[in-house]
Amino acid sequence: MSRRGRPRDTAQAESFLKPVKYEEVYLVEYAALADARVRLGHLLEDVYNRKRLHSALGYRPPAEFEQVLRSTTRA
């Protein structure tokens, strides 16, 4: 995840991957790689981007944050 001498790259990736693992990967037994890709795609697009609150975005989901940002920059 990180190049040699770049520890911050790893921390960012780990903070993203931890909830993915605990909310999906550790809870499901996948039948095939294709099944895992579909389920992880659903988790990332529908849950992580549309429902899950992110503290760095003012406790809003990324999709809502982007919508608010677009409406304030157009005005």
Confidence of residue 48 (pLDDT cuts 50, 70, 90): confident
First-last CA distance in the chain: 40
Establish if 1 belongs to a structural domain: no
pLDDT of residue 65: 92
In total, how many domains does the chain have? 1
Look at residue 37 and give its three-state secondary structure.
helix
Residue 39 domain boundaries: 7-74
Q: Tell me, what's the pLDDT at 3?
A: 66
- 2 located within any domain: no
Q: Tell me, yes or no, whether 13 lies in a domain.
A: yes
Q: Would you say residue 30 lies in a domain?
A: yes
The pTM score is: 0.64
Mean pLDDT of the chain: 85
State residue 2's pLDDT score: 57
Tell whether 36 is covered by a domain.
yes
Measured CA angle at 70 (ends 8, 67), to 5 deg: 80
Average pLDDT estimate for 9-16: 77
